[in-house]
Structure 1
Amino acid sequence: MAAISRDEVAHLARLARLAVTEQELDLFAGQLDSILQAVARVGEVVADDIPPTSHSVPLVNVLRDDVEAPCLTPAEALAGAPDPFEGRFRVPQILAEEE
């Protein structure tokens, strides 16, 4: 027996405000039924002796060490700015001031 009917697919489509054709209802009902059956099979797996995991392989710290490296001086960083002001980038105001 199918896990989801054509009428249920039509109801879900209405809830999601999707326009589906009669042919699509039949197609989607079959596809959703296959998906629901696959999910049900996964739920049948006996996993009492399998510990919960978040990854299939153990992970170690994958981040590199934080090493200081040469960088731009403030003057060099602002060299290409169109309108620097007091050591900062000046940009046009986009929001009104709150009162």
Structure 2
Amino acid sequence: MSVTEKDVQYIANLARLQLNQEEAKSFAGDMNKILDYMELLNEADTENVEPLEHVIELDSRFRKDEAKEPLSHEDALKNAPDADSDYFRVPKVIE
């Protein structure tokens, strides 16, 4: 299967793009190169290859989930630009 300039213009129309003839020709060539590469990949023998989640083995990069003491009200509010004894004060946004 190959992509023609007419196919590119159709796709561009669906995407609400305007392409001139030269751009359509260039994109058709690019899309055909991509399809040729996909055909090359389809020829690879994957019979005994297990599906992968990721090509590189990665360990969890998250820290261990350990329970800790929560912040006190004073610590949580000490850098707030405006606060009362228990809450952050913010400008009213709903009228």
After TM superposition, the score normalised by the length of structure 1 is: 0.75
2:44 corresponds to: 45
Equivalent position SS for 1:64 = coil
User: Which structure 2 segments of 5+ residues have no match?
Assistant: none
RMSD: 2.6
What is the number of residues matched between the two proteins? 95
Query: When the two structures are superposed, what TM-score results if normalisation uses the length of structure 2?
Result: 0.77
Unaligned runs of 5+ in 1: none
Could you tell me how far apart the structure 1 residues matched to 2:53 and 2:75 are?
45
2:18 matched to 1:19?
A: yes
1 or 2, which has the higher strand percentage?
Answer: 1
The whole-number CA distance in structure 2 between the counterparts of 1:40 and 1:19 is: 29
Describe the SS at the equivalent of 2:23.
helix
Q: Distance in 1 between matches of 2:40 and 2:3?
A: 16
Using a 3 Å threshold, how does the CA distance of structure 1 residues 82 and 57 change in structure 2: closer, same or farther?
closer
* Superposition deviation, residue 82 in structure 1: 3.2
Q: Is 1:54 aligned to residue 53 of structure 2?
A: yes
Q: Give the C-alpha shift of residue 43 in structure 1.
A: 2.0
Counterpart of 1:30?
29
